[in-house]
Amino acid sequence: MERRFQVDLRGIVDLLSHHLYASPRVYARELLQNAADAITARHADDPDAEPGRVVVEPMADGSLRVHDNGIGLNESQVHTFLASVGRTSKRDELGFARQDFLGQFGIGLLSCFMVADTIEVVSRSATGGPAVRWTGYSDGRYTVEVDETARADIGTTVILRPRPGGTHWLAKNQVSELIRSYGHLLDVDVVLVDPDAGQVRLTDPQAPWEIAYDDPETRRAALLDYGAQLLGSRPMEVIDLRVPEAGLVGVGFVLSSASAVGQGGHRVYLKRMLLSEDAKQLAPDWAFFVRGVVDTSMLRPTASREALYSDDLLDQVRESLGQQIRDWLLDLSVNHPDRLAAFLRVHHLGVKALAVRDDEMLRLVDAWLPFETSRGAMPLQAFRRNASMIRYVNTVDEFRSLAAIASAAGTPLVNAGYAYDTEILERLSRLDPKITVRRLDPGELAARLEPLSEEQQRSVAGFLETARTVLADLDCVPLIRQFDPVTVPALYVASQQARQQDQMRRNLAGVDELWSDVLSAFADVEVEHRPELVFNWRHPLIRRIVGSPPGPALRNAVEALYGQALLAGHHPLRAVDTAALNRSFLALLERSFAAPATGSRPATGAAPPSGGGTVPAADTPSEEMP
């Protein structure tokens, strides 16, 4: 036995309102779209028909009327199209959506049930026959009556009566805002009947990018004004966008402040009706500094009409818009370097992200984007003019602690501690084999610092002996070199090998016995590499310390300098490091505020760490800070 599906309208309305559409707002768009499609259909049949016009009329009783002079419906069409969910007159015989219409799914009118309890459609068809009145109720019933007097002209009037709680959706100001927002670019006249202001036109004759101006600069200024209205702040640039395969035309605004990947989308009109103010997939991710405002006739909407359907054409559009934004940037670098510089100051991150995969952009970054270097901010190309190779460090902390020393030692440095920097440098060397790029090994830098003369070396042997003993407990070895700037007393340097071995030692300490045996096989190294604490002979205090006799004070001084160097270089502190810093700091304070010989308590109120008023020696056990 064959039966027909029954549709529970309440279930469908619930599905639409809670799961398909983001907001009841869309009812206004669906009404407008049906009116515009009906006008398109009438003009397709009769090019001489009167110009299309939609009149939106909020009524004093709270209902809303939308009149159009489109093709209209006759009695049988009313049964076929209005009363069947999923039926549409806007597909061809094979069921394909017809390009000239906005609608295609046959469900849009139902969205009116989100705001109305009844939908009344009064229509007279251009194909002849009497006027007809269809009334649909949200509980699933409908009535149809032929009423010759209901309407004299060809076209359709839709009347919505608000549902409880839905009154505000049909109020004049709300309706006017919704119709303008969705339909202001439609190329039919849409007017609002306002009892206070008369007839108000809600559509603009031309999109801002279609308006002709006398010269490009006036056009640019006008578009930037439009961008300012739309975005809330004046964009810094405007780019014309065009993808003929998708019938896409519009503009891209370059934001005047930095934004992050994934933030904000594009304003997309589909066949001049607003589809989304936040479409995400239109342009590539890297172009996050651009907000597009475009109209397209060929891209497809999702059923909710709130996003673009993801298909090959959308991929093609994204690719093409990416290319156009990229070309605009390259053009700026040739013809408007000042504007490019302003752009880069704000959007360097987006450009770097692009340079990581695009050679042209990489060249642009090389020539124009300032990097932080030990010689000041400059593009990499300028940096190479005075440096045979690009030596870089890949953390900002390392740059801060090494830049001045490296520069004074004749090794200029680039700070590659920000996002994409190292990838850009490495890619640059692959792009042009003449460009050598090397990460600076701090160990290599220590080796470039000037050693002491033989005589000086003999004079510091005693100090080095003490320092070696103190630093051995901290897995570090002492060195004395002379380097600039003289303001740096000591430099903590961990070469790459020292770091690797240190990591291995930490791993060993953190695993159980079985793993420890396995790992120790790898850790069995021939040469031990330890981090170095390089004392600066040029620093006056260091000379005084080096010249002091061995003893607790000297040991505290070594520990304190060790701690200071770790802090200055932003190196992580282990528990032993914190303990050493703590111990030496308190001991030095103790020494500065030593209790008088009578044995009375110190005036500062600071209790000595190990009691008795004595200064603790470096090897005096003290509590470790966590």
Q: What residues make contact with ligand ATP under the rule CB under 6 A?
A: 30, 33-35, 38, 68, 70-73, 81-82, 88-90, 103-109, 156
Task: Quote the tokens at residue 85.
Answer: 């969910």
Long-range contacts, stretch 259-263, CB < 8 angstroms, 24+ apart: 259/288, 259/289, 260/288, 261/285, 261/286, 261/288, 261/350, 261/353, 262/288, 263/288
Q: Which is closer to ligand ATP, CB of 118 or CB of 584?
A: 118
How far is residue 391's CA from residue 115's CA, in Å, rounded to a whole number? 66
How far is residue 403's CA from residue 407's CA, in Å, rounded to a whole number? 6
CB of 54 to ligand ATP, least distance (A): 9
Q: Which is closer to ligand ATP, CB of 104 or CB of 333?
A: 104
- CA dist list (Å): 109 to 95, 97, 106: 19, 17, 8
Q: Which is closer to ligand ATP, CB of 82 or CB of 317?
A: 82
Task: Quote the tokens at residue 88.
Answer: 């549409």
CB of 11 to ligand ATP, least distance (A): 17
How far is residue 245's CA from residue 561's CA, in Å, rounded to a whole number? 68
CB of 278 to ligand ATP, least distance (A): 21
Task: Please report, for the chain, how many H helices and E strands are present, in that order.
Answer: 19, 22
CB of 67 to ligand ATP, least distance (A): 9
Q: Which is closer to ligand ATP, CB of 89 or CB of 381?
A: 89
How many Cβ atoms sit within 10 Å of the Cβ of residue 519? 16
Q: Which is closer to ligand ATP, CB of 154 or CB of 249?
A: 154
How far is residue 53's CA from residue 303's CA, in Å, rounded to a whole number? 26
Tell me the pairing of strands 189-194 and 53-58.
Answer: parallel
How far is residue 379's CA from residue 362's CA, in Å, rounded to a whole number? 12
DSSP state, residue 16: I
How far is residue 90's CA from residue 101's CA, in Å, rounded to a whole number? 6
DSSP H or E run through 314: helix 312-335
How far is residue 489's CA from residue 539's CA, in Å, rounded to a whole number? 6
CA 1 to chain centre: 58
Q: Which is closer to ligand ATP, CB of 271 or CB of 391?
A: 271
Each residue of 425-436: b (16+ CB within 10 Å) or e?
Answer: bebbeeeeeebe
Asked if 428 and 366 touch (Cβ cutoff 8 Å), the reply is yes
Taking alpha carbons only, the member of 286, 441, 291, 263 closest to residue 365 is 286
Asked if 247 and 297 touch (Cβ cutoff 8 Å), the reply is yes
Q: Which is closer to ligand ATP, CB of 124 or CB of 539?
A: 124
CB of 110 to ligand ATP, least distance (A): 6
CB of 396 to ligand ATP, least distance (A): 53
User: The dihedral of CA 175, 64, 16, 247: what is its sign?
Assistant: negative
CB of 264 to ligand ATP, least distance (A): 27
Asked if 238 and 224 touch (Cβ cutoff 8 Å), the reply is yes
Q: Is the peptide bond before 24 cis (omega within 30 degrees of 0)?
A: no
3-class secondary structure, 538: coil
CB of 71 to ligand ATP, least distance (A): 6
CB of 79 to ligand ATP, least distance (A): 11
Task: Quote the tokens at residue 263.
Answer: 């933030």
CB of 65 to ligand ATP, least distance (A): 12
Q: Which is closer to ligand ATP, CB of 56 or CB of 71?
A: 71
CB of 3 to ligand ATP, least distance (A): 24
What is the 3-state composition of the chain as percent helix, strand, coil, each rounded to the nearest 5? 40, 20, 40
Task: Quote the tokens at residue 579.
Answer: 């303990």
How many Cβ atoms sit within 10 Å of the Cβ of residue 453? 10
What CA dihedral angle connects 500, 501, 505 and 511, to 10 degrees? 50
Q: What is the largest CA-CA distance in the chain?
A: 121
Please give the single-letter amino acid code of residue 546: V
CB of 414 to ligand ATP, least distance (A): 56
CB of 176 to ligand ATP, least distance (A): 19
Q: Which residues contact 518 (CB under 8 A, 6 or more apart)?
A: none
CB of 208 to ligand ATP, least distance (A): 27
